[in-house]
Structures are given as C-alpha cells and as structure tokens.
Amino acid sequence: MKTVDFLGAFFDYFQSEKKRRKIKSKVLMGIEYKKTKTVTGAYGEFKFLEKYTSPALTYIYGDKIAIIIWSEEPTAFLIQSKQAAESYTNYFNFLWKIAKK
C-alpha cells in the first residue's frame, strides 16, 4: 500500500509509538491488503471489505477528519467539524458491522 511505501521507516516508528501509548485504531480496507505490511506491521484492529478499493484514506479523531488521496501527487486535507466527524464515524461504524475479519 502506498502509505507504507511513502512513510518508509516512519511507518514502523509510528506503529511502535501507537502501541507504546496504547492508541488503538480500527481500520477498514480492501481484502487484498490482508497480508501486507500495512496490516501485519500495524498496531490496530482490522476488518476487510470485499470488492472495495480506493486511493483515499480517512482518519477520524476527535472533531477532525483527515483525508489523504494517494494519487501521482498525494493530496491531503483536514476538516474540523464535530458534526462532520460524527457523521463519518456513524458511516464507519455501519461499514465496520458488515466488514469481515
């Protein structure tokens, strides 16, 4: 996955810091990533969706939504809105219920 490639050694550092600080994450992704370093080298709980692929990553934390689009030239933007974060969280929870381990 492009995240691991882009972050390089920082990916491992970031994951070890998440574990050290006990920052838990829930991650949804396409089933084709199940055996990649993005999953096997990460600290978090993963579920997978079949027939799902997207160049975009979405992080929801507090009242913020960070969206990264992995294109030829990566683009990222941050939305700070309690209402938007709640809406994205509800959508995530819906998908989490139908995703598979």
- pTM for this structure? 0.81
Name the nearest CA neighbour of 10 among 42, 36, 58: 42
7-63 residue pLDDT tens = 888 888 988 998 999 988 999 998 988 888 888 888 899 999 998 888 888 999 999
CB within 8 A of 101, min separation 6: which ones? Answer: 46, 47, 48
Residues 71, 78, 94, 34, Cα dihedral to 10°: 40
User: Domains in the chain: how many in total?
Assistant: 1
Give the domain range for residue 29: 2-98
Q: CB-based burial of residue 4 (10 Å sphere; 0-12 exposed, 13-18 middle, 19+ buried)?
A: middle
51-99 residue pLDDT tens = 888 888 899 999 999 999 988 888 999 999 999 999 999 999 999 999 9
